[in-house]
A and B are shown apart, each in its own frame.
Chain A
């Protein structure tokens, strides 16, 4: 696809459909009374975002978005929200109170997006950085094209990101790990190694007496 070209015809219709559903679902994430419904709407938003990725020709990112965010992260969200025992109706009463702060955060994000995406007008030299050419699909699949730069040019950052995640994981394990005394644990190899000789004892019992 040519850089900066607008979608026309049927793809454009699909773009507006997916974009509309995504925005509506995102609104419902904030607006719905039940937190579980919120998470389900969030999943719908992810779904439509990944459809938009497919429309731009970034099918690898679309699938990864589904696998990572919808298949794993949102499942954990749903888990946590279902387990929470909080009166959510009560939490909602202060909604208007927080609205100005929310609006402020939204405004800051919007301003940042405008500055970054409209970069050409703020700093002409940044335009060349943004306009990375997308390789033609017939020459290189975008999965391979992504791998070409990710594992060569950005391998250090890639490894660093992995390390950060590893530290986070170890941190979570350390926080929740308790060493308790007197816990009965199974030793699988010892269980498997048992034979009738070690497990069964044959005892001659005299009549009228116990063991």
Chain B
């Protein structure tokens, strides 16, 4: 009996929580995919998906069925094990990182005190899916795409890391929940205002928010940095040889990674589950609603970038990462540390 209460019951609870998060996340991803296509279509004055279900809302589910029922084709020259492992790696890693994201107060499946390092570690592993796919396909375009992408993702991780360091300096904790809670006190409250969106880190650490946003685009291979799969040059990059369910896993992993970056921006800069104005009518709304709203706003921005920014050339991408973002973020780490030392202990 004691075994049951100490081990089995907590395990069941954790499994239940994980399943709930996974199902909610996957359904949300389905609609995010639909939203992405609709936004893109609207900017181009097209209709976008509008056939399956009312206003085409069920399009993603139809696509899912289509992918699953197609025949998976494995090239004869491919390294079969690694070839099939690659999409699994990219799908599973993208989902695994969500374990520590606090969607509302105390609503994280695993609340660990190095949460942000965990997310950073997992997102730095996502490059393996791409490299393994590129190598295992045993074909020229996938390999070129994988090489490009590995260099790109590793480069932008550096600036993402430094942006995180500035936030950590200001907060003094690696726990994602504490990072959110630290944003109840900031620039606005120092001026004597009640806790509002002015206290969130996006204002106090403004240039870092922009750098993080752009680096997140590059890290997840979103346009204008989608050189990994630049169709004019590389057909579809590392995904050329993939079909059916393995291909779907890549797409799924990509979109979940994008959502993860949005969630991270929400937590680090937009106050996580905190309401934009922290008083009466706004505090009645549950925190998870604010979290999803902020997430959706950030995704809308990412989708809009796709519609109106032309693709970067590869050398421009590398120049931006190493010669612009790295010096700025490094300087900001030093400046933030100095300011905090001068303010002595106060969270900016």
Give the B-binding residues of A (Cβ under 8 A): 9-10, 34, 36-37, 40, 43, 59-60, 63-64, 66-67, 70-72, 75, 78-79, 82, 141, 143, 186, 188
A143 touches B174 (CB 8 A): yes
Interface 9-mer from B38-46, B122-130, B201-209, B329-337? B122-130
A72 touches B113 (CB 8 A): no
- Chain A proximity of B157: nearest CB distance (Å): 7
B7 touches A71 (CB 8 A): no
B interface residues, how many (CB within 8 angstroms):
26
Quick one: CB contact mask for B93-118 with A, threshold 8 Å, 1 for yes? Answer: 00000000000000000001110011
Given contacts A59-B113, A70-B125, A72-B124, is CB(A10)–CB(B7) below 8 Å?
yes
| In the assembled complex, B150 has its CB within 8 A of some CB on chain A | yes
B114 touches A60 (CB 8 A): yes
Please indicate the chain B residues that have their CB under 8 angstroms from the CB of A79 in the complex.
131, 147, 150
Please indicate the chain B residues that have their CB under 8 angstroms from the CB of A143 in the complex.
113-114, 174
Residue in A34, A66, A141, A186 whose beta carbon sits within 8 Å of that of B121 in the complex? A66
Please indicate the chain A residues that have their CB under 8 angstroms from the CB of B154 in the complex.
72, 75
A37–B120 alpha-carbon span in the complex (Å): 25
A59 touches B114 (CB 8 A): yes
Residue in B112, B122, B157 whose beta carbon sits within 8 Å of that of A59 in the complex? B112
- Chain A proximity of B262: nearest CB distance (Å): 21
| In the assembled complex, B82 has its CB within 8 A of some CB on chain A | yes
Report the 7 A-B pairs with minimum CB-CB distance, sorted nearest first. Answer: A71-B124, A63-B117, A66-B121, A67-B121, A59-B114, A63-B121, A63-B114
B132 touches A67 (CB 8 A): no
- Chain A proximity of B79: nearest CB distance (Å): 8
Please indicate the chain A residues that have their CB under 8 angstroms from the CB of B311 in the complex.
none
- Chain A proximity of B141: nearest CB distance (Å): 15
- Chain B proximity of A72: nearest CB distance (Å): 7
What are 14 A-B pairs at a CB distance below 8 A?
A: A59-B113, A63-B114, A63-B117, A64-B117, A67-B117, A67-B124, A71-B121, A75-B128, A75-B131, A79-B131, A82-B135, A141-B113, A143-B114, A186-B315
B319 touches A63 (CB 8 A): no
Residue in A9, A10, A60, A75 whose beta carbon sits within 8 Å of that of B127 in the complex? A75
Please indicate the chain B residues that have their CB under 8 angstroms from the CB of A36 in the complex.
79, 82, 135
A186–B147 alpha-carbon span in the complex (Å): 23
Which residue in chain B gives the minimum CB-CB distance to A59? B114
A75 touches B121 (CB 8 A): no
B157 touches A71 (CB 8 A): yes
- Chain B proximity of A147: nearest CB distance (Å): 11
Which residue in chain B gives the minimum CB-CB distance to A83? B147
A70–B319 alpha-carbon span in the complex (Å): 25
A67–B158 alpha-carbon span in the complex (Å): 11
Quick one: CB contact mask for B153-168 with A, threshold 8 Å, 1 for yes? Answer: 0100100000000000
A71–B128 alpha-carbon span in the complex (Å): 9
Please indicate the chain A residues that have their CB under 8 angstroms from the CB of B124 in the complex.
66-67, 70-72
Given contacts A37-B82, A75-B154, A143-B114, is CB(A188)–CB(B120) below 8 Å?
no
- Chain A proximity of B140: nearest CB distance (Å): 13
A127–B271 alpha-carbon span in the complex (Å): 48
Indicate the member of B79, B120, B121, B150 with the most A CB atoms within 10 Å.
B121
Quick one: CB contact mask for B294-316 with A, threshold 8 Å, 1 for yes? Answer: 00000000000000000000010
A63–B315 alpha-carbon span in the complex (Å): 32
Please indicate the chain B residues that have their CB under 8 angstroms from the CB of A186 in the complex.
315
Please indicate the chain B residues that have their CB under 8 angstroms from the CB of A82 in the complex.
131, 135, 143
B82 touches A66 (CB 8 A): no
- Chain B proximity of A158: nearest CB distance (Å): 16
Please indicate the chain B residues that have their CB under 8 angstroms from the CB of A60 in the complex.
114, 117
A120–B118 alpha-carbon span in the complex (Å): 36
Quick one: CB contact mask for B172-206 with A, threshold 8 Å, 1 for yes? Answer: 00100000000000000000000000000000000
Q: Using a CB-CB cutoff of 8 Å, which residues 73-102 of chain B contact chain A?
A: 79, 82
A64–B161 alpha-carbon span in the complex (Å): 12
Please indicate the chain A residues that have their CB under 8 angstroms from the CB of B143 in the complex.
82
Please indicate the chain B residues that have their CB under 8 angstroms from the CB of A63 in the complex.
114, 117-118, 120-121
A67–B116 alpha-carbon span in the complex (Å): 12
Which residue in chain A gives the minimum CB-CB distance to B147? A79
Given contacts A82-B135, A188-B319, is CB(A71)–CB(B125) below 8 Å?
yes
Given contacts A143-B114, A143-B174, is CB(A67)–CB(B120) below 8 Å?
yes
